[in-house]
């Protein structure tokens, strides 16, 4: 089988082996692939492994040998699923591989805001403790998480993992979800109630027409002035101009974001430099162990397809 890896650099910087794919056929790999080079690189392939490359009907029609599109990701909105089905192309994703890594990242933001460890370290490194006349100086306000309210929007595997961590910190947990659910120690409420009552609002919903721009000026005005927004889901769930305005004008206290609407981030993104806004470059999913798990699962998906028993099909 001819297999093409179009985006090796998006899953490995040389620290995670891709040899599992090479054991399954004749592999050609590229660090990255510009969109205008996709057809040229895939036209003779039977299987392609991608992450964010866009696969339209036009591309698939011009790659007549293609029978399999494997995603090194959970989301598959970059693939025209209807066209793939009509053209007899199997599409498989990797669900739930990064659950604990993303939940961990959520709390890295929360703990930054609560304990201000990096800020205190910067102050100490600049001589603040040396100049202090007391053994302990607490010029940067901190707070306990116990007793605060964690609000979760979207209660899939990552949202429920974040809830478990929050409860371990002694937080009260409320959540909103599109499908009715129950979970011990979690109170399910409307999305509006989450915005009104939560001290931390963590987004774990998929990007749909209903969730695009969910965090907007109207919803942010429902928040406590001390509230924080955490987004590790999809960038367009947040209206970036509205969030920047809410941060800069004191409508909410802060935000921790791992995703933005356009990635890589553009220089004119309004959240760059916004007050008390932490931004990381879409890395919540990327610990080494997580990527090893991802590659193993994506290779297993392809192996299963070759053996006639495809798993994790999305079409």
55 and 173 in a single domain? The answer is no
Q: Which two tokens stand for residue 284?
A: 């919540």
Using only the alpha carbons of the chain, give its radius of gyration: 22
In a domain, 52, yes or no: yes
Whichever domain contains 239, its CATH number is 3.40.50.720
Residue 19 exposed, middle or buried by CB count within 10 Å (0-12, 13-18, 19+): exposed
158 and 301 in a single domain? The answer is no
108 and 204 in a single domain? The answer is yes
In a domain, 6, yes or no: yes
In a domain, 312, yes or no: no
How do the pLDDT tens digits run along the chain, 315 residues long? 999 999 999 999 999 999 999 999 999 999 999 999 999 999 999 999 999 999 999 999 999 999 999 999 998 989 999 999 999 999 999 999 999 999 999 999 999 999 999 999 999 999 999 999 999 999 999 999 999 999 999 999 999 999 999 999 999 999 999 988 999 999 999 999 999 999 999 999 999 999 999 999 999 999 999 999 999 999 999 999 999 999 999 999 999 999 999 999 999 999 999 999 999 999 999 999 999 999 999 999 999 999 999 999 999
Q: pLDDT at position 6, please?
A: 98
Q: pLDDT at position 180, please?
A: 85
Query: Annotated catalytic sites, by residue?
Result: 234, 263, 282
14 and 27 in a single domain? The answer is yes
275 and 292 in a single domain? The answer is no
80 and 105 in a single domain? The answer is no
Q: Residue 57: which domain range?
A: 2-97+288-306
201 and 252 in a single domain? The answer is yes
What is the tally of structural domains in the chain? Answer: 2
127 and 271 in a single domain? The answer is yes
In a domain, 314, yes or no: no
Tell me how far the alpha carbon of residue 15 is from its chain's centroid: 21
In a domain, 311, yes or no: no
184 and 49 in a single domain? The answer is no
Q: pLDDT at position 276, please?
A: 98
Tell me how far the alpha carbon of residue 266 is from its chain's centroid: 18
Does the bond joining 99 to the residue before it have cis omega, within 30 degrees of 0? no
pTM over 0.75: yes
- The phi-psi region of residue 151 (left if phi > 0; otherwise alpha if psi is between -120 and 50; otherwise beta) is beta
CA distances (Å), origin 229, targets 74, 242, 261? 23, 12, 15
133 and 210 in a single domain? The answer is yes
187 and 118 in a single domain? The answer is yes
210 and 296 in a single domain? The answer is no
CB-CB neighbours of 42 under 10 Å: 26
Coil, strand or helix: which one is 12? coil
In a domain, 313, yes or no: no
In a domain, 272, yes or no: yes
In a domain, 315, yes or no: no
CA dihedral 106, 159, 232, 7 (to 10 degrees): 120
């Amino acid at each position: 089988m001819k297999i093409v890896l179009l985006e090796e650099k998006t899953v490995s910087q040389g620290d995670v082996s891709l040899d599992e794919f090479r054991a399954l056929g004749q592999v050609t790999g590229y660090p990255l692939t510009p969109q205008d080079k996709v057809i040229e690189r895939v036209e003779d392939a039977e299987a392609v492994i991608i992450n964010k490359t866009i696969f339209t009907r036009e591309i698939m029609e011009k790659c007549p040998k293609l029978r399999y599109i494997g995603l090194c990701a959970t989301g598959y909105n970059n693939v025209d699923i209807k066209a793939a089905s009509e053209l007899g192309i199997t599409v498989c994703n990797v669900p739930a591989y990064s659950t604990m890594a993303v939940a961990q990242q959520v709390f890295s933001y929360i703990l930054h805001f609560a304990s201000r460890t990096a800020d205190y370290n910067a102050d100490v490194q600049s001589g603040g403790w040396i100049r202090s006349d007391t053994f302990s100086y607490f010029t940067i306000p901190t707070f306990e998480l116990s007793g605060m309210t964690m609000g979760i929007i979207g209660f899939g595997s990552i949202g429920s993992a974040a809830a478990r961590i929050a409860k371990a910190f002694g937080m009260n947990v409320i959540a909103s979800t599109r499908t009715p659910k129950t979970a011990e120690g979690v109170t399910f409420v409307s999305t509006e109630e989450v915005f009104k009552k939560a001290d931390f609002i963590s987004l774990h919903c998929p990007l749909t027409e209903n969730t695009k721009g969910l965090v907007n000026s109207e919803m942010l005005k429902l928040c406590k002035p001390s509230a924080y927004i955490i987004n590790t889901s999809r960038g367009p769930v947040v209206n970036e101009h509205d969030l920047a305005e809410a941060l800069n004008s004191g409508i909410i206290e802060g935000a921790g974001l791992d995703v933005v609407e356009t990635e890589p981030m553009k220089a004119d993104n309004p959240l760059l430099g916004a007050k008390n806004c932490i931004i990381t470059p879409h890395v919540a999913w990327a610990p080494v162990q997580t990527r090893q798990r991802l590659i193993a699962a994506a290779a297993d998906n392809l192996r299963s397809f070759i053996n006639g028993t495809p798993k994790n099909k999305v079409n």
